[in-house]
Structure 1
Amino acid sequence: MFSVPHLDSAESFLKSKPASEAASAATPEVSKRSSFAQDEAKAESEILNTLLARRSVLPADSALSEVSDVALASSRRTAEAELQTARLRAEAEDKNWLPTIGPEISLTSLGDVIAGLVLEQVLYDHGRKKAERAYAAADVEVAAVTLSQDLNERSFTALALYIKGLRGQERAKVGADGLKQLKHFERIVQGRIDGGVSNKGDLRMVRTKIQTLDTRNDTAREDAATAISELQAMTGTRFALTPAAPLPNQAYPAVEPLEVVKARAEADRAVALATVERARQLPGLTAGASLTNDGNSGSLNVGNDVGLGLGTGARLKAIEASKDIAARQVDEAREDGDRLRKRLESNIQSLSRQEAEAQNLAQEGRKTYKLFEAQFRAGQRSVLEVVDVYEQSVLRDLDRVDAKYDRLLAQLELARDLGLLADGDAI
């Protein structure tokens, strides 16, 4: 399906690397832990579970699946680092309910230095510490969905380039077959001119059609070469163009689009942040102990971060309103996701119909061409009439190629939005 550029064979590729690298190149890594895997000792995340359970709709062992796998394997995305950072922050917040301890050094008015340790324990904080833990956990979920979106987008980009290469290759093949036949007509017209039957205007018309189709062929070949070069630059792999069939229409399970999943995670994070902000406005109770070389002491402290004032009530109402905003944003994302899915599904059906119609028109065009050709040999049709009919059949065939690959791209676009271009446990 694909080969590594600038190497004569897989054997030379393995021999050119150290043994450890060659072994890893020959044997795919199967023990990689998924980015969405969770610690069994902690509460499970429904969002991480749904990301982990998603499965690619790309047929196994197909050309599309291989392109996607290579694109994902060659990925070095910032979203991966951001997810790891979010996990570390969540791990740090997981024990925020424990007492804090820190050094204390002070200089008295008499010039004495007092050193010691200060121990503090929150007794009541209106749920602030719990909300901070919830915020960190939701931050992990947001980062996880972002990673899934990022890798599905990368897979789609690679597949779109591959399909662009396939489209250019097939268009060039259809055009080359048509060009061959048109040149045959050119020879016929030239012979008729030499025999005094036709005029040079007929030859000029045929050559114009040849030049137009030749230009289309050159553009198709250039598009294919450019797409494959881009794909090679993206993945470090030179792919051979193997035909790819459209995806089955029933390949999409009823899962939430990634944008909706992300909106839910962001809403959870926003609610947790609102809870933290609300707790900051209200007085809490903290126990403290000081152990110094000048003696020990203990205290109970009541207070908050920002102090109470005439604007406290309004701030609390604004914080509560932010929770409603988060819920509305989820509903809005769900509505947009449903609309986008319906639009793409309708577009896929429309392109499927267009492909079938273009194929039927091309077949009918070829039948009409054969009829006109027979009539031309019988002296009932002019050569230009035959050429026009043949050109129309070629154009209909090119329309069929475009509809075929537009349909496949729409299917992949829908799969990307649903997070179904990569297995969740492979991310």
Structure 2
Amino acid sequence: MPRKPLKYGLMPLLGLSLLGGCMQSLPKMEKPAFLKNLSKTDAGTDTEVSKAANAFSQPETKAQSDILDTLVARRSVLPSDSHLAHVSGVALTSSNRAAEAQLKTAKLRAEAEDKNWLPTLGPTVSLTSLGDVVAGLVLDQVIFDHGRKKAERAYAAADVEVAAVTLSQDMNDRSYTAMALYIKALRGQEKAAVGDRALKQMNHFGDIVEGRVSGGVSNKGDLRMVRTKISTLRTMRDTASESVETALSELTAMTGTRFDLAPVSGVEVNGSVEALEVIKSSAEAKRAVAQATVERAGQLPGLSASGTASTGGNSASLDISTETGLGFGTGKRIQAIESTKETAKRQVAEAREDAARSESRLRREIDSLARQETEAVALSKDGRETFKLFQAQFRAGQRSVLEVVDVYEQSTYRALDGIDAKFDKILAQLKLARDMGLLADGDTI
């Protein structure tokens, strides 16, 4: 029997492909990526994607993601002309994190899945019983799959969103780490300065007590007590000085830049935006639902068309098949898969609750530290006034030298408590901003 020409054998396959396309919600066709790059090269533009193209940017030809739009809209609470903003900017610019590559990989997978509704074409080679080799092409087109292909596209899109939120968290964490090191150096610098002044005064007291011991006015126990206080202050001062160099060295290793220390102020996180952890949980829930839909479709029979054009003849067929086959456990498996969707919803609610608790705790902590700072400053000031009074009374013979030393020591430690409260408050404010993704502008990531 004479063979039909190849073009006639492929006509049924093309018809089935068109039928399969009608059964799907087809996305808008766009020019392939390699052709886009080619046209850019012909126009004389750089084929590399520049940093101006934001990591969260989306093709205008596709449906826009609310999560990516939210990430782009985030604005840093750091004043643009502040030293903290400078440290954060340098840290972000010098970043070379794995999350950035993971987002790029997820975008490529999503772009590949975006065309999964198209028919697949592949070669086939077989050896017949007579020893003849039959080669040809196999064309497959899914006609009805219970939403599997659409869910695969949704999974890939949600995977991009998860990777994008992960990148935003990573960059905010990096910004916070750099600023925390800078603040650690500032804390050490201020405490070392207080320690230097205190040591100078305490050494003066030590000389007075030593002279009084030599003159028989005071005993050696008084001198030993003063020297112990001097040794404690010197240890504190040296520890603070060492922390400055340690923090600056670590910050330099992190950013490749040596920073000069300058005073900083706190930041205000007004209003309430959704925490990054909640946004990530929402993206993961979307991905889990899409995955559940794919798994559910695998439990049910689907309809596909296939055809072969080969040297041995042309053929076409309609196939009904399942991945796992139908059995007595199919119903329960489908129920288990459906329960995944409810689990995902509850995980989002749990993440939202945890974020609300964390935000409330940090805001309370900020208020408490602000109060502690104010009280420590006031107590330190009162201590200095009391010290001046006791010093005058000591010169008049109304106070002992140890009483004056104790008052001055307490005033010094109140000043150190004020420094700790001030910088702890700034760190708590930065933690709150970090959790909300407000340490870096979204359109610069």
TM-score, normalised on structure 2? 0.87
Q: More deviation in 261-270 or 57-66?
A: 57-66
Q: Is the 8 A contact 1:105 1:114 kept in 2?
A: yes
Report the residue type matching 1:265 in the other structure. A
Taking the aligned partners of 1:319 and 1:216, their CA distance within structure 2 comes to: 60
Taking the aligned partners of 2:51 and 2:243, their CA distance within structure 1 comes to: 39
Q: Is the 8 A contact 1:68 1:155 kept in 2?
A: yes
Taking the aligned partners of 2:283 and 2:199, their CA distance within structure 1 comes to: 56
- The 5 Å alignment of 1:74-85 reads 74-85=94-105
Residues 263-310 of structure 1: per-residue CA shift (max 9 Å, x gap): 000000000000000111111111112111122111111111111111
Q: More deviation in 376-385 or 131-140?
A: 376-385
SS in 2 for 1:333: helix
Q: 1:338 aligns with which of 356, 360, 369?
A: 356
Partner of 1:200: 220
- Tell me if 1:370 matches 2:388: yes
- The 5 Å alignment of 1:122-141 reads 122-141=142-161
SS in 1 for 2:399: coil
Q: If you compute each CA radius of gyration, which structure gives the higher value, 1 or 2? A: 2
Q: Is the 8 A contact 1:106 1:114 kept in 2?
A: yes
SS in 2 for 1:118: strand
SS in 1 for 2:99: helix
Q: Is the 8 A contact 1:56 1:422 kept in 2?
A: yes
Taking the aligned partners of 1:109 and 1:187, their CA distance within structure 2 comes to: 110
Q: 2:107 aligns with which of 87, 99, 104?
A: 87
Partner of 2:84: 64
- Tell me if 1:230 matches 2:266: no
- Tell me if 1:100 matches 2:137: no
SS in 1 for 2:60: coil
Q: 1:175 aligns with which of 163, 170, 195?
A: 195
Q: Is the 8 A contact 1:105 1:113 kept in 2?
A: yes
SS in 2 for 1:41: coil
How many Å apart are 1:192 and its aligned residue?
2.9
Partner of 1:265: 283
Taking the aligned partners of 1:61 and 1:178, their CA distance within structure 2 comes to: 34
Taking the aligned partners of 1:358 and 1:349, their CA distance within structure 2 comes to: 14
- Tell me if 1:302 matches 2:320: yes
Q: 2:419 aligns with which of 394, 397, 401?
A: 401
- Tell me if 1:112 matches 2:132: yes
Residues 116-160 of structure 1: per-residue CA shift (max 9 Å, x gap): 111111111100000000000000000001111111111111111
Partner of 1:20: none
- The 5 Å alignment of 1:310-329 reads 310-329=328-347
Partner of 1:384: 402
Partner of 2:378: 360
Taking the aligned partners of 1:87 and 1:34, their CA distance within structure 2 comes to: 13
Taking the aligned partners of 1:226 and 1:365, their CA distance within structure 2 comes to: 32
Q: 1:166 aligns with which of 169, 174, 186?
A: 186
Taking the aligned partners of 1:209 and 1:377, their CA distance within structure 2 comes to: 21
Taking the aligned partners of 2:51 and 2:231, their CA distance within structure 1 comes to: 56
Taking the aligned partners of 1:377 and 1:78, their CA distance within structure 2 comes to: 67
Taking the aligned partners of 2:214 and 2:147, their CA distance within structure 1 comes to: 97
How many Å apart are 1:31 and its aligned residue?
5.6
SS in 1 for 2:317: strand
Taking the aligned partners of 2:96 and 2:385, their CA distance within structure 1 comes to: 53
Residues 390-424 of structure 1: per-residue CA shift (max 9 Å, x gap): 00000000000000111111111111111111111
- The 5 Å alignment of 1:241-280 reads 241-248=261-268, 251-280=269-298
Partner of 2:15: none
Report the residue type matching 2:293 in the other structure. T
Q: Is the 8 A contact 1:263 1:329 kept in 2?
A: yes
Report the residue type matching 2:440 in the other structure. A
Taking the aligned partners of 1:425 and 1:63, their CA distance within structure 2 comes to: 21
Taking the aligned partners of 1:313 and 1:200, their CA distance within structure 2 comes to: 89
Taking the aligned partners of 2:127 and 2:219, their CA distance within structure 1 comes to: 111
Aligned alpha-carbon RMSD (Å): 1.3
Partner of 1:423: 441
Taking the aligned partners of 1:354 and 1:213, their CA distance within structure 2 comes to: 22
- The 5 Å alignment of 1:282-297 reads 282-297=300-315
Q: Is the 8 A contact 1:252 1:415 kept in 2?
A: no
Q: 2:429 aligns with which of 386, 411, 426?
A: 411
Taking the aligned partners of 1:144 and 1:51, their CA distance within structure 2 comes to: 8
Q: Is the 8 A contact 1:355 1:400 kept in 2?
A: yes
How many Å apart are 1:54 and its aligned residue?
0.4
Q: 1:42 aligns with which of 59, 62, 67?
A: 62
SS in 1 for 2:58: coil
Structure 1 gap ranges (5+): 1-29
Q: Is the 8 A contact 1:57 1:252 kept in 2?
A: no
- The 5 Å alignment of 1:200-219 reads 200-219=220-239
Taking the aligned partners of 1:125 and 1:53, their CA distance within structure 2 comes to: 37
Report the residue type matching 2:169 in the other structure. Q
Taking the aligned partners of 2:200 and 2:57, their CA distance within structure 1 comes to: 58
Taking the aligned partners of 1:252 and 1:337, their CA distance within structure 2 comes to: 16
Identity of aligned residues (%): 67
SS in 1 for 2:316: strand
TM-score, normalised on structure 1? 0.91
Taking the aligned partners of 2:270 and 2:51, their CA distance within structure 1 comes to: 28
Taking the aligned partners of 2:141 and 2:124, their CA distance within structure 1 comes to: 16
Taking the aligned partners of 2:442 and 2:194, their CA distance within structure 1 comes to: 39
Report the residue type matching 2:299 in the other structure. Q
Taking the aligned partners of 1:375 and 1:305, their CA distance within structure 2 comes to: 94
SS in 2 for 1:238: coil
Residues 213-270 of structure 1: per-residue CA shift (max 9 Å, x gap): 011000000111111111111111111111111123xx34421111100000000000
Report the residue type matching 1:258 in the other structure. L
Residues 182-202 of structure 1: per-residue CA shift (max 9 Å, x gap): 112122223333444333332
